[in-house]
Amino acid sequence: MYIQADSFSIFKRTVSARTSSRSTGKAPKAQKSPAASSDLHKVLVVLNGKGGVGKTTTAVNLAAAFSEQYRVLLVDADPQGSATWWVQRNGKSSGFDVCQETDPTLLSQLRATPTYDMIVVDTPPALGSETLASVIPAADYVVLPTPPAPMDLAALIETVRSSVRPAQVAHRVLLTKVDPRSLAEALEAQNTLMELGIPACHAFIRAYKAHERAALEGVTVSQWRGKNAKEADADYRRAVDEIQRDWRN
């Protein structure tokens, strides 16, 4: 379901308040699991200062995986609006809600909404932007997606050092676009990050055409039906399990 956002009130309204023509106008289909804590309220920011690392793909599919347990809002804070474009392409419910908001003042107030158990934020690839300066302090947790290639890792390390560590927010790197035929590069990247004291998920996201095709159809990998869809979905579920273990510890 897509929610048209033009003010911060969007974060405090129920899903049926302001919806696009694609919306059914009903309450969100995503239901909290009986096991989910009613006290859960997390802001998870997906961040990297470099573009083309799988940031939006990560944000959308993490939101989908979490929505099986919690009420989730995906905030598209990237002016390019890739997450919004993705969800609007299909009238099917994604299991979570989406709104687009790029105003730094409003984004700094993400914690103010009681409507959702979790807010996932897709951010622009621009270190030093006002958007990042607003959302990082509001985050409970930051996920930093990056391919394992050395140039991508170098940009990722700079993002951690300049933007994440100074905010003292919990975070993990999530390796993306990993060649499923050759995992050695990913394992080497994980070791490099460990040596630098940068926490990384043991799980990683393998590069499958399923990610691109799901986006083109406006669905998540958990909804897409095709080659390697189950494997792609399983990768995100493993990442979600690790994030939740961090929250419990």
Is 113 part of any domain? yes
Looking at residue 129, its pLDDT comes to 85
Looking at residue 38, its pLDDT comes to 43
How far is the C-alpha of 26 from the C-alpha of 93, rounded, in Å? 11
CATH assignment of the domain containing 88: 3.40.50.300
Is 100 part of any domain? yes
Long-range contacts of 162-169 (CB under 8 A, 24+ apart): 162/49, 162/127, 163/47, 163/49, 163/127, 163/132, 163/136, 164/47, 164/136, 167/136, 167/137, 167/139, 169/136, 169/137, 169/139, 169/140, 169/141, 169/142
Domain count across the chain: 1
Looking at residue 1, its pLDDT comes to 55
Average pLDDT over residues 34-63: 83
Tokens of 103: 């105003």
Q: 132 or 6, which is more confident?
A: 132
Contact of 87 with 60, CB cutoff 8 Å: yes
Is 163 part of any domain? yes
Q: Which domain holds residue 154?
A: 42-248
Average pLDDT over residues 141-158: 94
Average pLDDT over residues 70-85: 93
Is 14 part of any domain? no
Tokens of 35: 């096991």
Q: 211 or 25, which is more confident?
A: 211
Contacts of 82 (CB under 8 A, 6+ apart): 56, 76, 122
Is 239 part of any domain? yes
Give the confidence band of 39 by pLDDT, cuts at 50, 70, 90. low
pLDDT, averaged across the chain: 84
Is 82 part of any domain? yes
Instruction: Give pLDDT tens digits for 15-38.
Output: 334 333 333 333 334 334 333 444
Is 8 part of any domain? no
Is 34 part of any domain? no
Instruction: Give pLDDT tens digits for 212-241.
Output: 999 999 899 999 998 999 999 999 999 999
Looking at residue 33, its pLDDT comes to 38
Q: 140 or 12, which is more confident?
A: 140
